[in-house]
Amino acid sequence: MAGDAIIAQNLIYSYGQLLAVDDISFKVAEGEILGFLGPNGAGKSTTVKMLTGQLQPKGGQATLLGIDVARNPEKVQGNIGVCFELPNLYEQMSAEENLNLFARLFGIRPFDADALLKRVGLGGREHDRVEGYSKGMKQRLMVARALVNRPSILFLDEPTEGLDPTSSETIRNIILQERERGATVFLTTHDMMEADKLSDRVAFVDNGKIVVLDTPHNLKQQYGKRALRVEVARPDGGLDNREVILDKPETAGDVQGLFSKERVITVHSEEASLEDIFIEITGRGLVG
**Nearest in space to 194 (alpha carbons), one of 169, 222, 221, 213:** 169
- Give the nearest distance from C-beta 270 to other proteins in angstroms: 43
- Binding region for other proteins (CB under 8 A) out of 93-101, 165-173, 176-184, 217-225: 93-101
**Does 77 participate in binding other proteins (rule CB under 8 A)?**
yes
DSSP state of 94: B
- Give the nearest distance from C-beta 252 to other proteins in angstroms: 57
**Does 93 participate in binding other proteins (rule CB under 8 A)?**
yes
Cis bond before residue 216 (omega within 30° of 0): no
Is residue 187 classed exposed, middle or buried when 0-12, 13-18 and 19+ CB atoms within 10 A define those classes?
A: buried
C-beta of 148 vs 212, nearer to other proteins: 148
Judged by CB under 8 A, which of 91, 164, 169, 280 binds other proteins? 91
Question: Do 6 and 51 meet the contact criterion of CB atoms below 8 Å apart?
Answer: yes
- Give the nearest distance from C-beta 132 to other proteins in angstroms: 13
Crossing angle between the packed helical segments 274-282 and 216-223, to the nearest 10 degrees: 60
**Does 105 participate in binding other proteins (rule CB under 8 A)?**
yes
Judged by CB under 8 A, which of 10, 15, 71, 86 binds other proteins? 86
**Does 215 participate in binding other proteins (rule CB under 8 A)?**
no
At residue 146, the 3 state secondary structure works out as helix
Judged by CB under 8 A, which of 38, 39, 43, 53 binds other proteins? 53
C-beta of 106 vs 254, nearer to other proteins: 106
- Binding region for other proteins (CB under 8 A) out of 74-82, 110-118, 176-184, 263-271: 74-82
- Give the nearest distance from C-beta 81 to other proteins in angstroms: 9
Based on its alpha-carbon atoms, the radius of gyration of the chain, rounded to whole angstroms, reads 23
- Binding region for other proteins (CB under 8 A) out of 36-44, 76-84, 110-118, 119-127: 76-84
Residue ranges in 127-186 that form contacts with other proteins under rule CB under 8 A: 145
What contacts 230, CB < 8 A, 6 or more positions away?
A: 241, 242, 243, 244, 258, 264, 266, 267, 268
**Backbone dihedral angles phi then psi of residue 213, each to the nearest 5 degrees:** -145, 115
Judged by CB under 8 A, which of 102, 204, 223, 278 binds other proteins? 102
Question: Do 82 and 88 meet the contact criterion of CB atoms below 8 Å apart?
Answer: no
Q: How far apart are CA 92 and CA 101, in angstroms?
A: 13
**Site residues, other proteins (CB under 8 A):** 52-54, 74-75, 77-78, 80, 82, 84, 86, 88-93, 97, 101-102, 104-107, 145
